[in-house]
Amino acid sequence: MNTPPNKPATQPKQPAFWLALALILGLIGWWFYASPRQAPDAPGQTVTAVLPAGSEIAVFAGGCFWCTEADFDKVPGVLATTSGYTGGKTANPTYAEVSSHTTGHAEAVQVVFDPSQVSYRQLVDYFWHTIDPTVKDRQFCDIGTPYRTAIFATSPEQLQTAQASRAALEASKPFPEPIVTQLLMADDFYPAEAEHQNYHQVNPVRYDFYRQGCGRDARLAQLWGAKAKP
């Protein structure tokens, strides 16, 4: 690195106090980043809740489900969101099992919405701007198949809508890389452990530290510019 003009090429060593303080702050940061991602091994179960009259379900995988849930909670017309697991082969998976990359599941969010207030196409179009659709089996600092991006359509009509949305995006995207997000028919959805539900509301400090530390919003701004949805 070039030395700025009129600045000595070498700097005095920092006192031991400041080095110790930096170490302590680093340990605190590591604790905030790492500890929330651990959860008890309580199994989830397939959603069987009765839906509000006239509502519909959409399922999206956008990397860390804390962030995807937080993103969709901002959308008018979204009635409820649930973090969970889908797309794999293991029934009632735990967080630890999914994180081991052996179940085939992705972290995902089930979105209950009122189609009279927000259409499925609007949700899909919104979803693109909350993810990096150019990378496979990764989102930001989370790596592996549990963090792949996917749209899990709950009907043939939803699948056609998602395909049309992707085609329009391919024609207008502001980046040269291809879109690799999967478009699939939905499979069983298993809610995640209670510790993961509404995480951005229950643990806002840890959530913000994780999201910013992962570089999610910075990458979204780089990809989408003003269209990014942080």
By the 10 Å C-beta count (0-12 exposed, 13-18 middle, 19+ buried), 63 is classed as buried
User: What does the pLDDT read at residue 229?
Assistant: 84
Q: Are 92 and 85 in contact (CB under 8 A)?
A: no
Taking CB atoms within 8 Å and a gap of at least 24, the contacts of 167-174 are 169/125, 169/128, 169/133, 174/223, 174/224, 174/225
pLDDT higher than 70, residue 139: yes
> What is the Cα–Cα distance from 86 to 179, expressed in whole angstroms?
21
Strand ranges in the chain using DSSP code E only, listed in sequence order: 56-62, 78-86, 106-113, 138-139, 142-143, 149-153, 182-185, 189-191
Q: State pLDDT tens for residues 61-118.
A: 999 999 999 999 999 999 999 999 999 999 999 999 999 999 999 999 999 999 999 9
pLDDT higher than 50, residue 42: no
Q: Specify whether 64 is catalytic.
A: yes
User: What does the pLDDT read at residue 50?
Assistant: 64
Q: What pTM, to 2 d.p., does this model score?
A: 0.80
Nearest to 152 by CA among 193, 105, 114: 105
Delineate the domains of the chain, giving CATH numbers in brackets.
43-227 (3.30.1060.10)
Q: Are 210 and 33 in contact (CB under 8 A)?
A: yes
Catalytic residue among 64, 67, 141, 214: 64
Choose from 8-17, 42-51, 193-202 the range with maximum mean pLDDT. 193-202
